[in-house]
Structure 1
Amino acid sequence: MNEQKSKITANIIIAVIAAAAIVAASLILANGVEKVKGGGNRIIVTGSAKQQITSDLIVWTGNFSAKSPSLQEAYGILETDKSKVHNYLISQGVPEDAIVFSSINTTTNYMILPNGMYSSDIDYYELNQTVTISSGEIEKITDISRKVTELINEGIQFQSNPPQYMYTKIADMKVTMLAEATKDAKKRAEMIAENAGNKLGSLKYADMGIIQITPLYSNEVSDYGMNDTYSLEKEITAIVHCEFEIQ
């Protein structure tokens, strides 16, 4: 009998504690709502806007080199190869003004002694040069970047680098996307305010966050922003942090 009374007493104590906790939580929530309803309260939300873009500029580079124990001979070989590269690109329909050759980079290589140390005697000179094409004809230049190594058959030590794909109207898009991201932030703020029984006031502050330019369907992000240049089709995401007044 005493044991049964003890159980009943324990249950009553637990119920009282639970009721007290509920009352306390209600008071805290009520105070919180009261603070939100105060005239000087504000809410900070994050909005975003996404848009798919197609690159409108391709930048492709290729490297070719020449080696010889004689610097003059290496230079002569490189000049001949440069002419062949130039003629090849012209034959593929690349405009003259789209082809840019860099200055020549010269590396002096020294002979290696039996002990593995370098001697002061020159083994050979290696000269390198880069050709760059910037164009809006993306399909054509992409195709050239894949088959230009045909020049190897002409004895040219040529290396084709992966093309980079750019979008030149990013600056114009930022204004539009900032407006769209701000609208998204406002919708989020309105939902939060309504759920709390309040009304959303005016926008007090807006700060554009990092722009992310990523390949389609990619989940990659960076605190410093991403700028994918290896995908033709991309997605641009704009983030904005907004502060609204709560009425």
Structure 2
Amino acid sequence: MTSSSRAGFSAVLATAIASAAFVLTGVLVVRGLGDLRNASDVINVTGSARRSITSDQAVWRFTVRSVDDTSLQGAYRTFRATQPAVDSFLKAQTLKPDELRREPVNAGPERYTVIETLNGENREVERTRFVVSETYRLQSNDIRRIQGAVSDATAAFVQASTDGVSIESSDIEYLYTRLADVRLELLKEASQDAQRRAQAIAQSAGNSVGAVKNARMGVFQITPRFETSVEDSGSYDTSSLEKDVTAVVEIDFVVR
């Protein structure tokens, strides 16, 4: 074979190899696009689960507050005069040491505003008074004991209250101490609910669902029993003894 013939044959061979490579690359590209399309075929569903719970702990707070317009010493004397009645009330509740917490006593001046009439016109006037206060916290797994304390408090506080002293009572807070376990169980149930929904939708189109591609956990809603309202940031009701806990998940399943 002459040199010119060999050169021509090499050119033809190179062209053939390049053409084959181009065809093979095209096949790979098409196959890759096909896999990508399959991977993007997903179904997005939301699953939920709800469980009813009964609170297992109660918290109640009340504050003894003494006010004197002239001196801190006067406010403190009045405050101390209420202590025997308050202590007697607490003793009658037969609380365990860990069920009662007394906050440190707060004492000091307090600014407040009153409306006075001068020359037929109302105006705001700022004044100072002196306040001594202490907050008591009762917390127990014996919910009936806390409820009973609140019922007994009315008569006891009437006895303890004198001029210049007020006793402010909060509502009972009802808590559930095993909430972490319930959340894990509800997440599992909500995920199973989402899978069932996805399977039902896919089967209606002659398909089935495969692996989870993405999963997002929604906020938990802890609401009074049979309450239907929800909040975007989640809710944690403490006002009711009986509650519902709701979990929501959003999952993307691959369609097969």
Distance 1:90 1:97, change over 3 A: farther
Aligned match of 2:55: 55
1:87 aligns with 2:88: yes
SS in 1 for 2:95: coil
- In the alignment, the residues of structure 2 paired with residue 128 and residue 245 of structure 1 have an alpha-carbon distance, to the nearest angstrom, of 62
Q: In the alignment, which residue of structure 2 is the partner of 1:11?
A: none
Please, which runs of 5 or more residues in structure 1 have no aligned partner? 1-34
Q: Does 1:45 align with 2:50?
A: no
Q: Which residue is equivalent to 2:218?
A: 209
From the CA coordinates, give the structure whose radius of gyration is larger.
Answer: 2
Alpha-carbon distance change, 101 to 206 in structure 1, aligned in 2, over 3 angstroms: same
Please name the residue that 2:176 is paired with: 167
Q: What's the TM-score, normalizing by structure 2?
A: 0.74
1:195 is aligned to 2:194: no
Corresponding residue of 1:23: none
1:98 counterpart = 2:107: no
- Give aligned-pair identity as a percent: 32
Do 1:47 and 1:185's aligned partners in 2 also have CA atoms closer than 8 Å? yes
Report which stretch shifted further, 130-139 or 145-154. Answer: 145-154
CA distance in structure 1 between the aligned counterparts of 2:72 and 2:186, rounded to whole angstroms:
55
- Computed over aligned residues only, the root mean square deviation of the Cα atoms, in angstroms, reads 2.3
Kindly report structure 1 stretches of 4+ aligned residues shifted beyond 3 Å: 105-120
Partner of 1:133: 138
Measure, in 2, the Cα distance between the counterparts of 1:127 and 1:91.
25
Cα distance in 1, alignment partners of residues 169 and 112 from structure 2? 28
Give the Cα–Cα distance (whole angstroms) in 2 for the partners of residues 111 and 231 of structure 1: 36
Q: Does 1:231 align with 2:236?
A: no
Q: Distance in 2 between matches of 1:83 and 1:144?
A: 17
8 Å CA contact retained: 2:85, 2:160: no
Q: Which residue type is aligned with residue 95 of structure 1?
A: K
* Counterparts of 1:182 and 1:189, CA distance in 2: 11
Cα displacement (A) at 1:236:
0.2
- 1:66 match: 66
Q: Output the CA distance in 2 between the equivalents of 1:78 and 1:182.
A: 57
Q: Distance in 2 between matches of 1:191 and 1:148?
A: 57
Q: 1:118 aligns with which of 117, 125, 134?
A: 125
CA distance, structure 2, for counterparts of residue 105 and residue 238 of structure 1? 45
CA contact under 8 A between 1:204 and 1:243: conserved in structure 2? yes
Find the residue that maps to 2:60 and give its secondary structure. strand
Give distance in 1, aligned partners of 2:52 and 2:63: 33
Q: Which moved more, 1:92-101 or 1:225-234?
A: 92-101
SS in 2 for 1:46: strand
TM-score by length of 1: 0.77
From 212, 219, 241, give the equivalent of 2:228.
Answer: 219
In the alignment of these two chains, the number of paired residues is 209
SS at match of 2:153: helix
Q: Tell me if the contact between 1:149 and 1:158 (Cα under 8 Å) persists in the aligned partners.
A: no
Report the Cα offset of residue 129 of structure 1: 2.1
Partner of 1:147: 152
Alignment partner of 1:246 is 2:245: no
Q: 1:170 to 1:95 in 2, by over 3 A?
A: same
